[in-house]
Amino acid sequence: MSLKPKYQSTELDHIRDTLTDVVSSLGEANSNIKKLDAKFDKRFDEHDKRFDECDRRFDEHDRRFDEHDRRFDEHDKRFDKIDKRFDEQEKRFDKIEDTLSIIVNHLKR
Q: Cα separation of 79 and 76, whole Å? A: 5
Q: What is the pLDDT of residue 5?
A: 54
- The count of residues in the chain is 109
Output the pLDDT for position 8.
Answer: 54
3-state class of 43 per DSSP?
helix
Who contacts 47 (Cβ-Cβ below 8 Å, separation ≥6)?
none
Residue 3 has pLDDT above 60, yes or no: no
Which pTM value belongs to this model?
A: 0.52
Q: Is the pLDDT of residue 1 over 50?
A: no
**Residue 24, C-beta contacts closer than 8 angstroms, at least 6 positions apart:** none
- 15-74 tens-digit pLDDT: 889 999 999 999 999 999 999 999 999 999 999 999 999 999 999 999 999 999 999 999
Q: Tell me, what's the pLDDT at 14?
A: 87
